Amino acid sequence: MANVLIATEKPFAEKAISQITAVLEQNEFSYQFLEKYTSKEELLEAVKEVDALIVRSDKVDEEVLKTAENLKIVVRAGAGYDNVDVDAASKNNVVVMNTPGQNSNAVAELAVGLALYGLRNMFSGTSGGELRRRTIGLHGYGYVARNVHRIVRGFGMHPAVFTRYSRTQAVSEGLQVTDSLEELYAMSDVVSIHVPARDEHIKSVSFDVLKHLRQNAIIVNTARKEVINEDDLINFMRFRPDVKYLADIAPDRIAEFEKHFKGRFFFTPKKMGAQTIEANINAGVAAAEQIVKFLQNGDKTYQVNK
């Protein structure tokens, strides 16, 4: 009987947990949970005997992979797998998967909510602006950005996108696709960032890109802080007091934002994009099903360390 560990420092909703366990029980898998843990030692202890691991943003590094001697598969219940050392997993013959698309509507709704909150001056009682007729620039066009696109059309926004990998898809959906990131930022009242924390996307939001932003622009980041060049963002916000930054994760130099940019930034206290009951169910159940299919039939769909 295969043994699955669900290790979530930030737990899934109860409804998601009952559906995840139902999938595992139907397939006669045993399971255990490690939730709200506060030290790596707890994770190291818990992974020792398991065949499969479900995580969220939990760090799965080389030490965790080596300690988990029976481990065959790690599924990141979510999109970004920058928390998993995929090279170490490959070296240890562990398959790594994510669950693409499963939590993307939740993240997209948060992105639009942050844009609205920023445009309304953080509900501070001062006159703000409306989404309607403003241009939203989608930086990247994966599952989350596609949901943002669907939602903002309802608000009457003008969407545009810069994408290297999903150009055909974006064009087929009637989107204006720019030839460069600079061009996208130059035409946007709101920029919404939707690229993963890897390769050319790391620090891709630099001063040289930001300097093109329109007056009173709003930057929304529901992706990762690593895609922003934080020094450049701070310099840019000092030079352009009209610009706001709202993100689903606090930057490293939060004290500087508090000191210099009062009323111009907002950070969720904990990553909240995928923290809805629906997204927890979608991503958690998909993770459990992917583990079952892999361990029973060798199905490697969604493997990211090929």
For ligand 3PG, the closer CB: 135 or 275: 275
For ligand 3PG, the closer CB: 103 or 178: 103
Q: How far is the CB of 192 from ligand 3PG (least distance, A)?
A: 14
Chain position whose Cβ is nearest to ligand 3PG: 78
Q: How far is the CB of 200 from ligand 3PG (least distance, A)?
A: 18
For ligand 3PG, the closer CB: 78 or 118: 78
Q: Does 214 bind ligand 3PG (CB under 6 A)?
A: no
Please, are residues 157 and 136 in contact by the beta-carbon 8 Å criterion? yes
For ligand 3PG, the closer CB: 214 or 271: 271
Alpha-carbon distance of 83 to 62, in angstroms, equals: 11
Q: How far is the CB of 79 from ligand 3PG (least distance, A)?
A: 4
Show contacts of 185-188: CB within 8 Å, 24+ apart: 185/137, 185/209, 185/210, 185/212, 185/213, 185/217, 186/212, 186/213, 186/214, 187/135, 187/137, 187/160, 187/214, 188/135, 188/136, 188/137, 188/160, 188/213, 188/214, 188/217
- Ranges within 52-71 binding ligand 3PG (CB under 6 A): 56-57
Q: How far is the CB of 272 from ligand 3PG (least distance, A)?
A: 7
Closest C-alpha to 177, from 147, 149, 198? 149
For ligand 3PG, the closer CB: 122 or 197: 197
Q: How far is the CB of 126 from ligand 3PG (least distance, A)?
A: 31
Q: How far is the CB of 224 from ligand 3PG (least distance, A)?
A: 7
Q: How far is the CB of 301 from ligand 3PG (least distance, A)?
A: 18
Please, are residues 103 and 79 in contact by the beta-carbon 8 Å criterion? yes
Part in contact with ligand 3PG (CB under 6 A); list of ranges 15-23, 75-83, 161-169, 256-264 = 75-83
Alpha-carbon distance of 1 to 94, in angstroms, equals: 18
Q: Can you name the residues that pair with 303 across neighbouring β-strands?
A: 97
Q: Does 135 bind ligand 3PG (CB under 6 A)?
A: no
For ligand 3PG, the closer CB: 175 or 286: 286
Q: Does 78 bind ligand 3PG (CB under 6 A)?
A: yes
Backbone angles phi, psi at 139, to 5 degrees: -90, 95
Please, are residues 75 and 300 in contact by the beta-carbon 8 Å criterion? no
- Ranges within 263-302 binding ligand 3PG (CB under 6 A): 271, 273-275
User: Quick one: which H or E segment has residue 33?
Assistant: strand 30-35
Q: How far is the CB of 271 from ligand 3PG (least distance, A)?
A: 5
Please, are residues 197 and 227 in contact by the beta-carbon 8 Å criterion? yes
For ligand 3PG, the closer CB: 243 or 285: 285
For ligand 3PG, the closer CB: 251 or 273: 273
Alpha-carbon distance of 10 to 28, in angstroms, equals: 26
One-character DSSP codes across 182-215: HHHHHT-SEEEE---SSGGGTT-B-HHHHTTPPT
Alpha-carbon distance of 282 to 20, in angstroms, equals: 10
Alpha-carbon distance of 243 to 15, in angstroms, equals: 40
* Residue of 7, 34, 46, 79 that binds ligand 3PG (CB under 6 A): 79
Q: How far is the CB of 239 from ligand 3PG (least distance, A)?
A: 30
Closest C-alpha to 250, from 272, 279, 232? 272
Which residues form the interface with ligand 3PG (CB under 6 A)? 10, 56-57, 78-80, 103, 271, 273-275
